[in-house]
Amino acid sequence: MRRFFLVLALLPATVFAQGDDVVAAFGGVEMRSSEMRKLLAAQPPEVRAQVLDNAAALDRLVRTELFRRALAAEARAKGWDKRPEAIERMERAREQALVSSYMDSLARPAADFPSEKELREAYEANRAELTLPRRYRVAQIFSASRDKAEDLAKKARLAGADFDLLARNGSEHADSAARGGELGWIAEGQTYPEVARALAALKPGEVSTPVQSASGWHVIKLLEVREQSVRPFDEVRAELAQALRLRRAQENEQRHFDEMLRKHPIAVNEVALLRLKNELAKSR
């Protein structure tokens, strides 16, 4: 498949001009700007946002859709769309697309939902879930050898010691060594228990004695601490709105199903269904 996609890279620059020009082409199949707009509009909001914020994701979407269209064109050229089994599957797919589109329109919350008041209420009601644990910004010197770790710890704990240089030259953890030992932010409870206990006992700027974990020995320097805190409302506003709209859509959908069942209860002929089941079981 990757071999086919190389065709995209060979298109002339004029193909990608503004307007309703060709965005991409493959095997005699073209995609225009207007078609891409429709394709993007048909994506779920979260997918559309991701694609528009990520050039690589947009590129993948174009390539995937173009290849799908090329396969469909090839199948039609071979008369595959005239086969009974294909016709039946296409009809079911058409009906499912119709149902999905119809239910999306029924379930979709009003454009002004949720209100600012509803967002604030949801924020207050979910403060526990929105609380960030205590976090540590950490640097380390790692060694599989206890003697080496103790030697490096003594040097690192001396006044004026250059922990960055010691980590770069002495740590056996290549990724962090290249950054002067820095591991970034670690949430409380998301590291080895022995390391977590050592971190809790340190103050910013202090270096631990060697700490043994399942993987080896760590000499830890605590760079910074952020205490437990609730994520700011403005930071989670979009997430809350999306979650509330999804829940409201699910409620709307269930409400419609319940109303349909209330008006027209489903009647199942259990005897006929059992007879059919037995017939099918015998024919296997």
Q: What is the pLDDT along the chain (284 residues), one digit of tens a residue?
A: 443 333 333 344 344 445 688 888 888 888 899 998 999 988 888 788 888 888 898 999 999 999 999 999 999 999 999 999 999 999 999 999 999 999 999 999 999 999 999 999 999 999 999 999 999 999 999 999 999 999 999 999 999 999 999 999 999 999 999 999 999 999 988 999 999 999 999 999 999 999 999 999 999 999 999 999 999 999 999 999 999 999 999 999 999 999 999 999 999 999 999 999 999 998 87
Task: Give residue 16's pLDDT.
Answer: 41
CA distance 201 to 181: 19
Q: Which CATH architecture has domain 132-230?
A: Roll (3.10)
Q: What is the pTM of this model?
A: 0.63
CA distance 46 to 51: 9
Domain with CATH 3.10.50.40 in the chain: 132-230
- Kindly report each contact of residues 179-186 with a partner whose C-beta sits within 8 Å and lies 24 or more positions away, as own/partner: 180/139, 181/139, 181/140, 181/141, 181/221, 182/137, 182/138, 182/139, 182/223, 183/138, 183/139, 183/140, 184/137, 184/138, 185/135, 185/136, 185/137, 185/138, 185/226, 186/135, 186/136, 186/137, 186/138
Task: Give residue 139's pLDDT.
Answer: 97
Beta strand spans in the chain (E): 22-26, 29-32, 131-132, 135-143, 182-187, 211-213, 216-226, 229-230
